[in-house]
Chains A and B, each alone.
Chain A
């Protein structure tokens, strides 16, 4: 009983508003930064929610995805509409951009027809002022017959007052738009056919406008008949009348002063300049890329150092060798593999949420649209594809900034073909051994090949499954400085959700590979891994790769592509013994490594703005490995091996990312498809060069 009473006392508040009006900032301010990030069920649209106390009562806040209208023209709008109809909110907070009142009021008018109590949060009043716009909140409140609160959510101004209004608001609003007689009569007729519920007016109008709302069969049939009787497209009539009402209201409450062009227009003059635009765009891309990878790199190194110290401590213990190996290579190795992704994801999320909230991302998409259009993709796909060259995993999560699911999927299936930095390490080693003097050319060629295969994949898939409405139409929002605290919190929550969601699968893969390597016998060739590799040799023989050690190294490559080098080192040169560490010596190393990471992190700031380097780095491999590799491969076989390595199955973290975003079937498709492409092209490379 007590639980039921508590549940009853809890108020459900939904925030609704156009994209880019500061809804997230408002949720952050209302909840005191205690919000959570998840997905809307069955989708990958972000869902923000919070439980908090407001005015001494418990409150559940749910942020509905940004919507221009409830006509459900995007997946986000469909969720917003369906949730408004499904959940019975105690109050709807409609966040409105004071600097773009007329268009924002369109949604407010629609909400008045839905019948839920509405409080209008008139946000961004400071930004509106710089555009010469000031809104009379009291007059607007009279026009709408709804409470209206002026806000600057990013500074917390007006948030308390909004909280008060939201906790006391009750009662259905007055329906604010009067339509032409024929539509009003048709709407009333439909409402009489529907059961008593507050959304009836909105539902009847949606049915007349021809939107896909779920209604009983007879109502639907009657609506179709009425639509035909009304003649001209009732949607345009209804929308037109809403806009006219919004326009008239805005005229009455808005004071417009002539001011010099706002900051946004000034910045656009540079960033979208006919000649400056492209170089600035490329520089911006480089900055996002470098920010993500330069700032995360010191921490990835630190994670590696922590692993080494733990392995040293384990080596110094008196445990049997097999247990030591299980602990340091299996458990610590697995946790380390997972943790090494955390920094890169965290910094990527920081960069992406800054780019998105600041307005830069929309401009980048605007410029890249032309290029991506060749592959039938929207401009927003450019940034994820480019990030793939650093690491495929964050690149796949970055596709979330794209609207259409099918477009996202196509870009995400293209990403694993782009040569991530883990593959670079292997390319550099092989190229320097087998193509001395031409190694840069070979590495560059591999990068181009990966990108070409990826884009072709996306283009061909687009022919089979065209996107529902792949439109380039999008708003270019005003430039804004996002709140640091909010950006950090979002990045942290998403990184944590990756570790929670993907950690298990990566651990299992590492442990399986450990088992393969350690079951059977002490020497690599006796182990299960060695036997399996030897079985696989006939498959790779046609492309000139006949040494089982080379074939075998592809198996642990599934953990991460750079592991290939380590495995080759072990199987050709034998394992390096781990130096045992005393507890104190280990602590000392940890401290030193941490300081080193901090120092490298600070050094990343000037590096971000340095000139790009075009020569590939020196191979980082055990000294003798190059010499050991030379006799076992013909250059043609080496090239085939590299092509295969570039294109074959994405690493386990990428597969998990694909699964999280698109489901098991697409992740499996990606693995099989890439193996096939890799095999065919590897074979081709061998035959051509031989």
Chain B
């Protein structure tokens, strides 16, 4: 089992599960993260600490620790 923070830039994967506190999971779902959705890690932030993720037709920023709550299926 891998999580979103382990992807390399430009690598794609599919979300299998979300973890974390209920408000945080709701926030993720509102932004479009959900099991079955395809994600791509676009890049790490220039100073590190955060990730830019392509999700559907949008780009989302997530902190590394938050990206660790998004579990992936290997594709």
Name A's B-contacting residues (CB within 8 A): 68-69, 71, 73-74, 77, 99-103, 106, 131, 133, 210, 235-236, 239-240, 243, 264, 268, 272-278, 281, 362, 365-367, 369-371, 373, 379, 468-469, 471-477
Would you list 14 pairs from A and B whose C-beta atoms are within 8 A, ordered by A residue?
A73-B30, A102-B57, A133-B57, A235-B25, A268-B42, A277-B45, A366-B61, A369-B45, A369-B63, A373-B63, A469-B24, A476-B52, A476-B58, A476-B60
Task: Assess the A473–B27 pair: CB atoms within 8 A.
Answer: yes
* Distance in angstroms between the alpha carbons of A71 and B62 in the assembled complex: 20
Among B2-55, those with CB < 8 Å from A are 18, 21-32, 34-37, 42-50, 52
Task: Judge whether B52 and A366 touch: CB under 8 Å.
Answer: yes
Least Cβ distance of A49 to chain B in Å?
Answer: 25
CB-nearest residue of chain A to B32: A103
Note all chain A residues with C-beta closer than 8 A to B58: 100, 103, 475-477
> In the complex, what residues of B have CB within 8 A of residue A477's CB?
58-59
Verify B45–A268 contact, CB threshold 8 A. Answer: no
| A362: nearest chain-B partner, CB-CB | B61
- Contact yes or no, A370 B45, CB < 8 A: yes
Residues on A with C-beta less than 8 A from B36 are 240
What's the minimum C-beta distance from B14 to chain A, rounded to whole angstroms?
13
> Which residues on the A side are within 8 Å of B27 (C-beta)?
73-74, 469, 471, 473
The interface residues of chain B lying within 8 Å CB-to-CB of A236 are 18, 25, 29, 34-35
Q: Chain B CB within 10 Å — which of A131, A362, A366, A371 has the most?
A: A366
Q: Assess the A274–B29 pair: CB atoms within 8 A.
A: no
- Most B CB within 10 A of own CB, among A100, A365, A471: A471
Quick check: A272 and B46 within 8 Å, CB to CB?
Answer: yes
5 closest cross-chain pairs (CB), A and B: A277-B46, A370-B49, A472-B63, A68-B30, A370-B47
Residue of B nearest to A256 (CB): B57
Determine whether B66 belongs to the interface, using a CB cutoff of 8 Å to chain A. yes
Are B59 and A472 in touch, CB under 8 angstroms? no
Contact A474 B30 (CB under 8 A): no
Q: How far is the CA of A471 from the CA of B31 in the complex (A)?
A: 12
Known: A73-B30, A210-B22. Contact between A473 and B45, CB under 8 A? no
Asked if A268 and B22 sit within 8 Å, CB to CB, the answer is: no
**Whole-angstrom distance from the CB of B2 to the nearest CB of chain A?**
19
Q: How far is the CA of A274 from the CA of B25 in the complex (A)?
A: 29
- When chains A and B are docked, how far (Å) is the Cα of A362 from the Cα of B24? 20
CA distance A275 to B32 in the complex (A): 30
5 more A-B contacts (CB under 8 A) besides A236-B35, A371-B47? Answer: A77-B30, A210-B22, A268-B43, A473-B31, A475-B31
| Most interface-central of B24, B52, B57 (chain A CB within 10 A) | B57
Tell me which of A77, A133, A239, A275 contacts B29 (CB under 8 A). Answer: A239
Cα–Cα, bound, A365→B22 (Å) = 25
Chain A residues contacting B63 (CB-CB under 8 Å) are: 369, 373, 471-473
* Number of residues on chain B facing chain A (CB within 8 A): 36
Identify B50's interface contact among A69, A273, A366, CB under 8 A. Answer: A366
User: B28: which A residues are within 8 A, CB to CB?
Assistant: 473
B-side contacts of A99, CB under 8 Å: 57
A235, B34: Cα distance in complex, Å: 11
Shortest CB-to-CB span from A283 to chain B, Å, is: 13
A382 CA / B52 CA spacing, docked (Å)? 19
Contact B60 A367 (CB under 8 A): no
Q: Are A469 and B47 in contact (CB under 8 A)?
A: no
The one of A77, A264, A366, A468 that contacts B45, using a Cβ cutoff of 8 Å = A366
Q: With A73-B30, A473-B62 in contact, is A370–B50 under 8 Å at CB?
A: yes
Q: Which of A73, A240, A278 contacts B46 (CB 8 A)?
A: A278
Q: How far is the CB of B4 from chain A (nearest CB, A)?
A: 12
Determine the chain B residues whose CB is within 8 A of the CB of A366 once the complex forms.
45, 50, 52, 61
Chain B residues closer than 8 Å to A276, beta-carbon distance: 46
- A379 / chain B contacts, CB cutoff of 8 Å: 50
In chain A, what residue has the closest Cβ to B50?
A369
Contacts of B48 in A (CB 8 A): 370
Contact B60 A473 (CB under 8 A): yes
**Contact partner of A131 among B29, B43, B57, CB < 8 A?**
B57
In the complex, A253→B54 CA distance in Å?
22
Which of B24, B35, B46, B60 is close to A474, meaning CB atoms less than 8 Å apart?
B60
| Shortest Cβ distance from residue B65 to the other chain A in the assembled complex, whole angstroms | 9
Q: A133 to B57: give the CA distance in the assembly, Å.
A: 10
Q: Write the nearest CB–CB distance from B68 to chain A, whole angstroms.
A: 12
Residue from A210, A239, A367 in contact with B34 in the complex, judged by beta carbons closer than 8 Å? A239
**Residues of B contacting A68 in the complex (Cβ-Cβ under 8 angstroms):** 30-32
Instruction: Say yes or no: A73-B23 contact (C-beta < 8 A), given A103-B58, A366-B45, A475-B58.
Output: yes
- Shortest beta-carbon distance from B55 to chain A in Å: 8
B residues in contact with A100, CB < 8 Å: 56-58
Name the distance in Å between A341's Cβ and chain B's nearest Cβ. 34
Q: Contacts of B59 on A, CB cut-off 8 Å? A: 264, 268, 475-477
Whether B52 and A268, one on each chain, are in contact in the complex, defined by CB atoms closer than 8 angstroms, is yes
* A residues less than 8 Å from B42 (CB atoms): 268
A268 to B44, alpha carbons, bound, how many Å? Answer: 12
When A102-B57, A369-B50, A472-B50 are in contact, do A71 and B31 touch as well, CB less than 8 Å?
no
Q: Which of B18, B34, B50, B56 has the most CB of A within 10 A?
A: B50
| Residues of chain A lying within 8 A (CB to CB) of residue B60 | 473-476
Once bound together, how far apart are the Cα atoms of A275 and B30, in whole Å? 32
Name the B residues within 8 Å of A473 (CB-CB). 27-28, 31, 60-63, 66
Nearest A residue to B48 by beta-carbon distance?
A: A370
Instruction: A533 to B34: give the CA distance in the assembly, Å.
Output: 65
Chain A residues, CB < 8 A from B43: 268, 272, 274
- B23 near A468 with CB under 8 A, answer yes
A240→B57 contact, CB < 8 A = no
How far, in Å, is A401 (CB) from chain B's closest CB? 15
Contact of B56 with A102 in the complex, beta carbons under 8 Å = yes
Least CB distance from B1 to A in Å reads: 18
Q: With contacts A239-B29, A473-B31 known, is A367 near B47, CB below 8 A?
A: yes
By beta carbon, the residue of chain B nearest A269 is B43
In angstroms, Cα B43 to Cα A476, docked, is 13
Evaluate contact between B57 and A471: CB separation under 8 angstroms.
no
| Chain A, Cβ-Cβ closest to B9 | A274
* Cα(A101)–Cα(B36), bound, Å: 17
Question: Is B46 a contact partner of A273 (Cβ separation < 8 A)?
Answer: yes
Which residue of chain A has its CB nearest to the CB of B44?
A274
Tell me how far the C-beta of B5 lies from the nearest C-beta in chain A, rounded to whole angstroms: 12
Instruction: Tell me if A240 and B34 are in contact (CB < 8 A).
Output: yes
Q: From A77, which residue of chain B is reached at the shortest CB distance?
A: B30
Residue ID in chain B nearest A280 by CB atoms: B46
Cα distance A236–B59 when bound, in Å?
Answer: 22
Q: Report the separation of the CA atoms of residues A240 and B37 in the bound assembly, to the nearest whole angstrom.
A: 10
